[in-house]
Amino acid sequence: MEEVKGLERGLDVLMALGEMGSGTVRQIAKRAGVSQQAAYRSLESLRRKGFAHRNTYREAYRATTRTLTVGGEISPDVVVMSAARSVMTELTRTLKWPMLLTGLTNTEMTALEATDFLLRRNMRGFVHGAKLPFFERPSWALYQAACPPDKARELFAETVAKFGPQLFVRDREFHASLLARIRSQGYVIYDAFRGPEGSIGVPIASTGERFFALELRFVAAEVPRATIKNTFAPALKAAAKAIKGDIEPLLAAIAALRTAVV
């Protein structure tokens, strides 16, 4: 993560260098749209970290293969988990209920991070990497609400075909109204329908192939509806916004590294 953060700070220069293959400080500064002094500082920082090589004879720099290695080894999941961990811990202690970070691709949903261990509550726990039933978690609806309409309909049909009678939302009109409400409110509440647990979820971000969401889990009988809407929802939306602000430049850095020319 620290390597990616360091690259993100000089991303404009690294991108220019990657597009050019190699170049002088002046050439790279012009391509990146920064001053020569700023370009030089970024290039030297990248060189010290092993991401750029300086040819003293030609007074030129080029990107090293390490940039591609780092970009390929660090997954979006790792970036999001790292950014979300402290936010989830703080919010769990504030709201007194456990949180869950999920990652979704098509009809597969994975638990990436959970804070059950911070509280002594008699609730089902989650472990990293656990596969979650699509139809039981609000992340499922959040994911579809974030998709283009055609993709959302495709996911809905695929999920109904895959899970059949286990799925509690099978009506297309109700499903469409649910997604419209999510897009308007920015969150979704799942009432307890199997056991005592209720939950509320908010979207974090999407990489195109991977979607991330944040959930708060609670015992439905112990939490008034007004608390869910007026306390939990704003707190989760603020947390998701903070996480998104941290991860967007890092995800951009990873994407840039994977397409850099070396």
- Tokens standing for residue 89: 């811990």
Whether residues 70 and 166 fall in one domain: no
**259 within some domain:** no
Going by C-alpha positions, the residue among 241, 223, 242 that lies closest to residue 231 is 223
Per residue in 184-227, pLDDT (tens digit) is: 999 999 886 667 889 999 999 988 789 999 999 999 999 999 99
Whether residues 133 and 175 fall in one domain: yes
**47 within some domain:** yes
Whether residues 84 and 212 fall in one domain: yes
In whole angstroms, what is the distance from residue 131 CA to residue 104 CA?
Answer: 10
Query: For residue 115, what are the domain limits?
Result: 76-250
Whether residues 245 and 117 fall in one domain: yes
**257 within some domain:** no
Over its C-alpha atoms, the chain yields an Rg (Å, rounded) of 22
What is the number of alpha carbons within 13 Å of residue 258 lying toward its C-beta? 12
**pLDDT digit string (tens) for the chain, length 262 residues:** 555 555 556 677 877 877 787 899 999 999 988 899 999 998 998 888 787 889 877 679 988 877 666 656 667 888 899 889 999 999 999 999 999 999 998 878 999 999 988 887 777 778 888 888 777 789 989 999 999 888 888 888 887 777 665 555 556 777 788 889 999 999 999 886 667 889 999 999 988 789 999 999 999 999 999 999 999 999 999 999 999 998 887 777 677 666 654 4
Per residue in 72-94, pLDDT (tens digit) is: 666 788 889 988 999 999 999 99
- Tokens standing for residue 65: 């293969």
Q: What is the CATH number of the domain that holds 44?
A: 1.10.10.10
Whether residues 40 and 96 fall in one domain: no
- End position of a domain, from candidates 74, 90, 105: 74
- Using the structure block, give the residue that is written with the tokens 């990657």: 18
